[in-house]
């Protein structure tokens, strides 16, 4: 079968962090519909408002992408790109319910010859062995003949202005050679043809899973050595600074691993390993180490605050700076800062959290936590914990940091606990106990 991309209509299914920018980018080259079940999200996008703050109003308003919450509007399309969430459940098992539901809905509207590309992060086999049969059942068409499956993992990194859709290599795969070539052409329009055609769909699925698991494990190693080095009275940042002068030292840094990719995808890989009878020891211990960093950081803060009693803790105030899962974005999904906050609260401390990017309503809704959007004035904290490396915090001067703490009012020195070592070069002139991981 030969395809003529210019004559094909495209539907992007799921307009979140991945789907919406993809739909808008593809709309520059042809007819594109953006479909989402969330009516509020669709109305916002129609109004030119992206609550994820990925695209500016002017870009959205000038896009020819047609946003809709009515699946019948996309029944006429030829290519469907599925970008719905693939989370884990409370037992850290992959939860495929959303991608299965989206597949069932698509199965009811697809026609012979259509191409269905999955971009959601999955484990090897989900596209062909789980989604394919659902599409077959609902459409009455045969996978690989009546409709063609494709997979193209998404690599965007929110908040990263260097590695963008226009310049990162995109991996693609499909059930037929012709469809794979079509994917090369489709995605190649957006990044100057910077496409890697993977051997087959399972290979493409696995490539995404191992990319994120590798990152998770590398950070886990840094977190493990941090715990060891801290026990020796050393700062891991000082040690890493020295070690990274070696040409082949991998410059990962310790910290909290949250969000919906690095902290989730390794569980997808682990599940597929377990399904075939292999115990994925490294992958799961990496997850375990990284998931324990929030409580560990809280323990360190408690140690440096040196509170002698519970009553003493109840009188101490801590300000946590940053709540999102990474710097300079507003995404709070699976943020591990909550573990630091909750552990400190469980010790009895009073904890305030500031974040200028996170949406307060969402934080209350998801975590039951009220956050400050402006830095507190006139309040003196016993500890300031810099948890997320937002630019606004990177730019703070010593004086601005010191106004947040009661440095000159008490004989007990306040603590500045700097998870990312952002303020390492600041001169606090002995007014505080300055500690990093």
| Residue 333 CB, nearest approach to ligand NAD (Å) | 7
Considering the candidates 65, 131, 261, 383, report the single residue annotated as catalytic.
261
Distance CA 78, CA 80 (A): 7
65 part of the active site: no
Distance CA 386, CA 369 (A): 18
CB closer to ligand NAD, 17 vs 381: 17
CB closer to ligand NAD, 88 vs 240: 88
CB closer to ligand NAD, 175 vs 212: 212
**Cα–Cα nearest to 139, from 116, 166, 107:** 107
| Residue 126 CB, nearest approach to ligand NAD (Å) | 10
Report the residue closest to ligand NAD, judged by CB.
Answer: 16
CB closer to ligand NAD, 96 vs 220: 96
Structural tokens at position 301: 């803060």
- The Cβ of residue 27 has, within 10 Å, a number of other Cβ atoms equal to 19
- The Cβ of residue 6 has, within 10 Å, a number of other Cβ atoms equal to 9
- The Cβ of residue 124 has, within 10 Å, a number of other Cβ atoms equal to 24
| Residue 67 CB, nearest approach to ligand NAD (Å) | 11
| Residue 117 CB, nearest approach to ligand NAD (Å) | 12
| Residue 71 CB, nearest approach to ligand NAD (Å) | 8
| Residue 28 CB, nearest approach to ligand NAD (Å) | 20
Residues lying near ligand NAD in the complex (CB under 6 A): 13-19, 35-38, 41, 83-86, 98, 101-102, 105, 120-121, 154, 156, 158, 260-261
Cite the beta strand spans of 18-88 per DSSP E.
32-35, 66-68, 79-82
CB closer to ligand NAD, 55 vs 405: 55
Supply angle C-alpha 190, 194, 198, rounded to 5. 115
Residue 415 β-bridge partners = 383, 433
Sheet holding 433-436, edge to edge: 350-354, 317-321, 383-386, 415-418, 433-436
The CA–CA distances, whole Å, from 380 to 6, 253, 376 equal: 62, 30, 9
CB closer to ligand NAD, 15 vs 386: 15
Distance CA 82, CA 103 (A): 8
Active-site residue list: 261
């Amino acid at each position: 079968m030969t395809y003529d991309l210019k004559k094909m209509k495209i539907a992007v299914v799921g307009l979140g962090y991945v789907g919406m920018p993809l739909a808008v980018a593809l709309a520059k080259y042809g007819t594109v519909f953006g479909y989402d079940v969330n009516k509020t999200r669709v109305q916002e996008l129609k109004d030119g408002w992206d609550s994820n703050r990925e695209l500016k109003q002017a870009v959205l308003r000038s896009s020819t992408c047609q946003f809709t919450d009515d699946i019948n509007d996309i029944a006429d399309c030829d290519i469907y790109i599925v970008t719905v969430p693939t989370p884990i459940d409370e037992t850290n098992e992959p939860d495929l319910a959303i991608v299965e539901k989206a597949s069932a809905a698509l199965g009811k509207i697809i026609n012979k010859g259509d191409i269905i590309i999955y971009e959601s992060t999955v484990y090897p086999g989900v596209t062909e062995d789980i989604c394919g049969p659902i599409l077959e059942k609902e459409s009455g068409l045969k996978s690989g003949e009546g409709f063609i499956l494709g997979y193209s993992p998404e690599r965007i990194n929110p908040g990263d202005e260097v590695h963008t859709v226009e310049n990162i290599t995109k991996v693609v795969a499909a059930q037929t050679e012709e469809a794979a070539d079509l994917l090369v052409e489709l995605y190649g329009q957006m990044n100057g043809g910077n496409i890697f055609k993977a051997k087959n769909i399972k290979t493409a699925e696995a490539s995404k899973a191992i990319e994120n698991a590798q990152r998770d494990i590398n950070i886990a190693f840094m977190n493990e050595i941090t715990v060891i080095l801290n026990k020796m009275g050393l700062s891991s940042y000082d040690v890493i600074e020295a070690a990274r002068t070696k040409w082949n030292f991998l410059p990962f840094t310790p910290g909290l691993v949250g969000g919906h990719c690095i902290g989730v995808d390794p569980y997808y890989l682990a599940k597929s390993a377990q399904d075939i009878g292999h115990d994925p020891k490294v992958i799961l211990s990496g997850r375990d180490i990284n998931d324990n960093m929030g409580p560990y950081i809280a323990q360190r803060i408690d140690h440096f605050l040196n509170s002698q009693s519970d009553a003493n803790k109840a009188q101490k105030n801590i300000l946590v700076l940053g709540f999102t899962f990474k710097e300079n974005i507003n995404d709070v999904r699976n943020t591990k800062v909550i573990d630091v906050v909750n552990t400190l609260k469980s010790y009895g401390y009073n904890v305030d959290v500031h974040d200028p990017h996170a949406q307060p309503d969402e934080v209350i809704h998801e975590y039951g936590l009220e956050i400050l959007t402006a830095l507190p004035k006139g309040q003196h904290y016993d500890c300031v914990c810099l948890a997320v490396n937002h630019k606004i915090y990177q730019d703070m001067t010593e004086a601005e940091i010191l106004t947040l703490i009661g440095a000159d009012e008490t004989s007990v020195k306040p603590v500045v606990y700097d998870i990312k070592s952002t303020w390492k070069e600041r001169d606090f002139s002995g007014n505080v106990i300055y500690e990093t991981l």
